[in-house]
């Protein structure tokens, strides 16, 4: 809700549809709505602030002769550790091939074999080769480049770059627009964008943690904004760590794609021992949460963790995986002849804004797609390369739903002055955010327990009290939701591991649904009990 101090002026006319976020979900939705007028608000130049552009593996789709929808759904259910919404997952998987053909039509140069068929690869926890890739590890970049070119050539899509959305405008039970700050969020001016429909595609939460593979813009602001406006949030405790971020001290950490392990690369300690074979029968191809904990344990024990690609990839590395190769070479590592040092890093948030099969949230007028959501298709642990699939499938569903609900576009003034404010924060340089990131990594990271989560809750409460800035309030709200969900779930499942409750519990085989009011109550009760 808007505060009185920052309430926008009233304007005649409204923009028809505002999409928040210039990643895969946002751009795909805009294209699917064409030729209907759409305004896309992006915090960074489109393609530069989105995790989609950094995705290395590709898109999972059951498209080979030996594959099937049932098989892909079964793998998704297994990875999701018992709480996947099967109906939603089946919808997503069934529509995957059609969305791949959409991307091909937009010019995405997916890899093909000599006969022109799509070249499919395998990743961890997939029973078939169903990953559609581009040049080994360049799928995200190639997809985004194709979509950006198409968006810029589409007259009905207005792209406003450098606009950081800070608030949802709520009027009664409806979301009626957004308030954004231009100049990458550093302007004193605030602009209101009234709208008949708002689609949140603002990305993930990686920069709530110290080590992440996500761009800086992925700091959880979308989830926090929606929660503060009253939206229901689902499964916030489930955070996926990628086990093989390249450990070279960069923020964000570059990624050594899972496709390397799919092609036979091994995880070893500094003595050359393949430690994953002692942890899981699938070794390096075990589900990500298991591999992440295995890597975390080796690093914590001082034995180090390294991805050995010398035999599996060897001299073909520069051509087969150019992105990973370039990151390694920039750090003085030659992956052709040297193992790559790795560490777990926050990679994906299975939780987020609760949506239905059409991308509708619990607030009228607000839709959401991509990592900011929790559709239920990932459960407790996302299956590799299902994230880009989810983004395009549900972005298309949102476009169809909006066209059906609001068949006639309405024209009018599409923006207005919402006043000025000195309430600025450069998110990536904020000492408050640095403290929050350290706290979340230390106490709500790969391994959690009640004592650590209570410490995180107290720190969050202090930061909230001492830093009454709007954008930081969105960020810290998302951190609070993650901690509240983790405190409630007294078991270990998928991306959520509690050392004080190391086994899954049958009574917890369900999703989490909460509002910010409920999260506040969980955190307040827990911290008060701890103090007593």
- The predicted-structure confidence for 63-84, as pLDDT tens digits, reads as follows 998 899 999 999 999 999 999 9
DSSP letter for each residue of 364-431: BTEEE-GGGEE-SSSTTSPPTTHHHHHHHHHHHHHHHHHHHHS-S---S---EEEEE------GGG-H
- The predicted-structure confidence for 495-528, as pLDDT tens digits, reads as follows 999 999 999 999 999 999 999 999 999 999 887 7
The enclosing H or E element of 470 equals helix 470-488
Q: Which residue has the higher pLDDT, 56 or 502?
A: 502
Residue 7 has pLDDT above 90, yes or no: no
Q: What integer best gives the mean pLDDT of the chain?
A: 91
Residue 10 has pLDDT above 50, yes or no: no
- The predicted-structure confidence for 164-215, as pLDDT tens digits, reads as follows 999 999 999 999 999 999 999 899 999 999 999 999 999 999 999 999 999 8
Residue 140 has pLDDT above 60, yes or no: yes
- The predicted-structure confidence for 283-316, as pLDDT tens digits, reads as follows 998 878 889 999 999 999 999 999 999 999 999 9
Residue 53: what pLDDT? 63
Residue 11: what pLDDT? 32
Distance CA 499, CA 478 (A): 23
Q: Per-residue pLDDT averaged across 218-239, rounded? A: 97
Residue 137 has pLDDT above 80, yes or no: no
Q: Per-residue pLDDT averaged across 340-344, rounded? A: 97
Residue 5: what pLDDT? 30
Residue 1 has pLDDT above 60, yes or no: no
Q: Which of 178, 220, 166, 169 is nearest to 1 (CA)?
A: 169
Query: Active-site residues: which are they?
Result: 288
Residue 231: what pLDDT? 98
Q: What's the whole-model pTM score?
A: 0.91
Split at pLDDT 50, 70, 90, the class of 15 is low
Residue 49 has pLDDT above 80, yes or no: no
Residue 428: what pLDDT? 59
Residue 125: what pLDDT? 80
- The predicted-structure confidence for 415-449, as pLDDT tens digits, reads as follows 667 667 666 555 556 899 999 999 999 999 999 99
Residue 9 has pLDDT above 70, yes or no: no
Residue 417: what pLDDT? 72
- The predicted-structure confidence for 460-475, as pLDDT tens digits, reads as follows 999 999 887 889 999 9
Distance CA 100, CA 151 (A): 17
Residue 400 has pLDDT above 80, yes or no: yes
Contact, 339 vs 268, CB < 8 A? yes
* Burial class of residue 140 (count of CB atoms within 10 Å of its CB; 0-12, 13-18, 19+): buried
């Amino acid at each position: 809700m808007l505060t009185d101090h920052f309430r926008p002026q009233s304007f005649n006319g409204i923009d028809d549809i505002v999409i928040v976020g210039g990643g895969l979900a946002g751009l795909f939705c805009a294209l699917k709505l064409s030729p209907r007028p759409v305004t896309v608000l992006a915090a960074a130049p489109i393609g530069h602030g989105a995790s989609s552009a950094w995705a290395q593996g590709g898109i999972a789709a059951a498209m080979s002769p030996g594959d099937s929808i049932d098989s892909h759904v079964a793998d998704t259910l297994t990875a999701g550790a018992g709480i996947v919404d099967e109906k939603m997952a089946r919808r997503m998987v069934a529509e995957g091939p059609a969305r791949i053909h959409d991307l091909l039509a937009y010019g995405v140069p997916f890899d093909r074999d000599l006969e022109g068929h799509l070249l499919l690869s395998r990743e961890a926890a997939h029973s078939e080769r169903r990953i559609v890739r581009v040049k080994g590890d360049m799928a995200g970049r190639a997809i985004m480049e194709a979509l950006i070119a198409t968006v810029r050539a589409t007259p009905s899509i207005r792209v406003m770059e450098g606009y950081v959305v800070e608030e949802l405008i709520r009027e009664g039970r409806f979301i009626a627009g957004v308030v954004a700050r231009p100049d990458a969020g550093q302007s004193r001016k605030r602009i209101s964008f009234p709208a008949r429909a708002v689609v949140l595609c603002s990305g993930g939460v990686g920069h709530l943690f110290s080590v992440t593979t996500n761009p800086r813009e992925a700091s959880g602001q979308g989830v926090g904004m929606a929660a503060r406006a009253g939206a229901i949030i689902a499964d916030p405790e489930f955070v996926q760590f990628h086990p093989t971020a390249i450990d070279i001290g960069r923020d964000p950490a570059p990624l050594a794609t899972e496709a390397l392990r799919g092609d036979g690369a091994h995880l070893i300690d500094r003595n050359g021992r393949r430690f994953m074979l002692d942890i899981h029968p699938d070794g390096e191809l075990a589900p990500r949460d298991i591999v992440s904990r295995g890597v975390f344990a080796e690093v914590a024990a001082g034995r180090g963790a390294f991805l050995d690609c010398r035999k599996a990839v060897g001299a073909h590395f520069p051509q087969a995986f150019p992105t990973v190769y370039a990151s390694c070479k920039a750090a003085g590592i030659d992956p052709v002849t040297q193992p790559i040092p790795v560490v777990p890093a926050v990679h994906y948030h299975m939780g987020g804004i609760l949506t239905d099969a059409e991308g509708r949230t619990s607030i009228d007028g607000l839709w959401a797609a991509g990592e900011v959501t929790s559709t239920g298709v990932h459960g407790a642990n996302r299956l590799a390369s299902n994230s880009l699939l989810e983004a395009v499938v549900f972005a298309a569903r949102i476009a169809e739903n909006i066209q059906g609900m609001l068949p006639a576009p309405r024209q009018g003034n599409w923006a207005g002055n919402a006043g000025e404010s000195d309430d600025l924060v450069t998110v990536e340089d904020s000492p408050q955010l640095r403290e929050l990131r350290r706290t979340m990594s230390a106490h709500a990271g790969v391994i959690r327990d009640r004592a650590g989560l209570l410490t995180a809750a107290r720190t969050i409460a202090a930061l909230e009290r001492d830093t009454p800035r709007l954008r930081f309030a969105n960020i810290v709200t998302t951190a609070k939701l993650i901690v509240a969900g983790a405190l409630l779930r007294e078991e270990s499942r998928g991306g959520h591991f509690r050392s004080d409750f190391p086994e899954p519990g049958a009574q917890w085989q369900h999703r989490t649904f909460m509002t910010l009011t409920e999260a506040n109550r969980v955190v307040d009760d827990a911290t008060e009990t701890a103090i007593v």
